[in-house]
């Protein structure tokens, strides 16, 4: 009978330790917004190459204090939009790619920036979102780039690409 009591006692302790680890785990939600300013001069009948980089770091917002304790990240939503457009409304991106590190979020072809101003483009591909989350965990930052060519024959254009990411991080205390 004593054996059964010891076995029961040790099984309760082992189960409690697992629960204790759960208590030391914290979920923190954080939202990051990054704006990439773009200024395009008049291009005179030929597309001009561009490469616009930006960096998103975990050192900002609610996650900064937990940066070294993050064990998992779930990206709840990832969107981008073109905002604050001024200038040539006929200007286009003949070819373009929006990337987070090596993860291609969108390929653009003959994309009219003015006509799409304010339109929210949502990234829902779970494989891409998981790759981005993994890159954030491993590097504490991620590089965003908008690369391609732009064509603006009738005058200059200025706009911003605004990227919004909401995520939940798992923190071990």
Q: Where are the domains of the chain?
A: 26-172
Over pLDDT 90: what percentage of the chain? 54
Rounded to two decimals, the pTM is 0.80
Helix intervals (H) in the chain:
2-23, 126-139
Q: Name the more confident of 117 and 30.
A: 117
With CA atoms as reference, report the closest residue to 77 among 113, 119, 35, 29. 29
Cβ atoms of residues 160 and 117 within 8 Å: no
Rg (CA), the chain: 23
pLDDT tens profile 66-87: 777 888 999 999 999 999 999 9
Of 64-78, 90-104, 140-154, the range with the lowest mean pLDDT is 64-78
Work out the number of other CB atoms within 10 angstroms of the CB of residue 112. Answer: 13
CATH of domain 26-172: 2.60.120
The pLDDT, as a whole number, for residue 108 is 95
**pLDDT band at residue 20 under the 50/70/90 scheme:** very low
The pLDDT, as a whole number, for residue 159 is 94
The pLDDT, as a whole number, for residue 172 is 87
């Amino acid at each position: 009978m004593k054996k059964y009591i010891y076995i029961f006692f040790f099984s309760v302790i082992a189960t409690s330790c697992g629960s204790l680890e759960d208590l030391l785990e914290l979920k923190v939600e954080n939202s990051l917004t990054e704006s990439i300013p773009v200024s395009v001069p008049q291009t005179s009948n030929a597309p001009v190459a561009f490469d616009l980089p930006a960096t998103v770091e975990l050192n900002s917002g609610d996650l900064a204090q937990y940066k070294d304790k993050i064990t998992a990240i779930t990206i709840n939503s990832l969107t981008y939009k073109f905002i604050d457009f001024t200038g040539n409304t006929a200007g286009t991106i003949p070819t373009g790619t929006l990337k987070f590190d090596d993860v291609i979020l969108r390929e653009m072809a003959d994309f009219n920036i003015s006509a799409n101003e304010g339109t929210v483009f949502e990234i829902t591909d779970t494989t891409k979102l998981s790759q981005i989350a993994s890159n954030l965990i491993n590097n504490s930052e991620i590089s965003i780039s908008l690369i391609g060519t732009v064509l603006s024959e009738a005058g200059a254009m200025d706009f911003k690409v605004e990227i919004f990411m909401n995520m939940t991080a798992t923190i071990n205390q």
